[in-house]
Amino acid sequence: MSRIDAIYPADRITLREVGLRDGLQIARSHPATEAKLNWLEREAAAGVRHFEIGSFLPAGRFPQFADVGAMIEGAERHDLHSAALTLNERGAEAAFATAIREMVCVVSATEEHSEANMRRSRGDAVDLVRQIAARRDAEAPGKIVNAGIAMAFGCSLAGDVAHDEVLRLADACLEAGADIVGLADTVGYAGPKAVGELCARMSGVCAGRPFIIHLHDTRGMGVANAAAALDNGARVIDASLGGLGGCPFAPGATGNVVFEDIVYLAETMGFATGIDLDTLKTARRIAEEAMPDDDFHGALHRAGPPQNARWRA
């Protein structure tokens, strides 16, 4: 079994909880490490196994991720799959010194966003994926290299993004040694038609290997987009507890697609998640208490699943 099949099996779906990373990126509240560990452990008790738990970014500019080491240790204590954003050489250096199980690189779909966000060209971003994958092969063969294509459904700087261009970059990342590629609707431009079409073509590029869909609910399309992705071959979905995350380009906007609602969606579509919704609700309460200045979203947590009818397909 290959490294990637052991972590993200192609024959079932995996939900990645990104609240502790993307959910904190532009958050107003910065929860204490202890609260974050409680949140992680509570979600683990609910059956969640895949977490983005932080970022290897400068602690000066991103103090909410200064405890990434403690978060990795917390994940290891419970044998959880931990992932962290690894955006540059310094971040990679830090990552290899830890037990982090997955390094998340980002390649922007547009040159404009790549330069503005990471001060490097898309070509250089793919080269960084190549360097990290090579070092991984040499030093830490168990670690996963994940390459996320940001702005894959439209860019707040460049506007329209052609599917061909996204698929070309996804292919380049795989060729550079990434184990898995993600398609990110970073600013929530997509509708289900675009998501379905790009995922169907992505299934071809990945040739049986899983790929990730990373959705933002900025315009309320998150769950519909996830359904379209599942209908068209996506088997790994990013979501955040309570839909934490916001959008840097739309103040007050809703954030990542809501984890709880995605669990319900997947189960109604016949994809078993192994996640218990009641326990997840208690994790949500921990996060809400730890982040009093941030908005939580979603609907499932209010009503709960139907009590008297079959809702798992």
Cite the active site residues: 247
Give the helix ranges, DSSP H, for the chain.
Answer: 3-7, 22-25, 33-46, 68-77, 89-96, 111-118, 122-139, 163-175, 192-206, 222-231, 259-268, 277-290, 300-303
Nearer to its own copies, 134 or 282 (CB): 282
Residues near 20 by beta carbon (within 8 Å), at least 6 away in sequence: 36, 39, 40, 51, 52, 53, 54, 71
Q: Residue 216 has which token pair?
A: 């933002």
Q: Minimum CB separation from its own copies for residue 225, in Å?
A: 8
DSSP 3-state of 28 = coil
Nearer to its own copies, 209 or 219 (CB): 219
Residue pair 182/212 in contact by the 8 Å Cβ criterion: yes
Q: Minimum CB separation from its own copies for residue 56, in Å?
A: 29
Q: Minimum CB separation from its own copies for residue 109, in Å?
A: 12
Nearer to its own copies, 35 or 158 (CB): 158
Rounded to whole angstroms, how far apart are CA atoms 153 and 202? 13
The contact set with its own copies (CB under 8 A) reads 154-161, 187-194, 217-221, 223-224, 226-228, 247, 250, 252-254, 258, 260-261, 264-265, 267-270, 298-300, 302-306, 308-311, 313
Task: Report DSSP state, residue 277.
Answer: H
CA distances from 107 to 10, 136, 144, 277 (A): 23, 18, 16, 34
Nearer to its own copies, 66 or 158 (CB): 158
Nearer to its own copies, 84 or 239 (CB): 239
Place of tokens 């329209």: 160
